[in-house]
Amino acid sequence: MGAFENAKKFFIACETAKGWTGCEQYVADNATFLAQSEPLAEVTTVKEYCEWMAGFASVTVPGATYDLHTSSYDSETGTAVFFATYNAKHTGEGGPVPPTQKETHSHYVYALTMDENDKVKSMIKIWNAPWAMRELGWA
């Protein structure tokens, strides 16, 4: 199986709130995570992000979905890119306030750098978190 196929499988597992147990087979040991986004500022590993995403999606916004707009793979840099919109409604407990019943349709990008074993070795998430937080009624 190739790097782009594994990247796609990781993306789907992560976005459908499978948590670390559903994502780890696609991720290299000690894979790093970076996001210039307030809710994720302290998250530094892909494992932590997978767990954060699972908790956020299953507790705070159960039933969240995504629309994948495009994906690509650059074999020279070993980087897979996914551009999508996250669709969620705050109906569950969690988050900074009680359920607001408000929705977000928030754009984001994953940039996944793959290693020589076709596993994610680093991940960057590009996400305008303040936009999503305002739409959810949290700001």
pLDDT of residue 14: 96
Residue 66: phi and psi, rounded to 5, are -140, 155
Cα 57 to Cα 74, 88, 92: the distances in Å are 29, 8, 9
Q: 131 is in which domain, residue-wise?
A: 3-135
Asked if pLDDT for residue 1 goes beyond 70, the answer is no
Asked if pLDDT for residue 95 goes beyond 80, the answer is no
User: How far is it between the farthest Cα atoms of the chain?
Assistant: 46
Asked if pLDDT for residue 83 goes beyond 90, the answer is yes
pLDDT of residue 57: 87
Average pLDDT over residues 13-42: 96
Asked if pLDDT for residue 32 goes beyond 70, the answer is yes
Number of domains in the chain: 1
Identify the CATH number of the domain in which residue 41 sits.
3.10.450.50
Asked if pLDDT for residue 115 goes beyond 80, the answer is yes
Asked if pLDDT for residue 74 goes beyond 90, the answer is yes
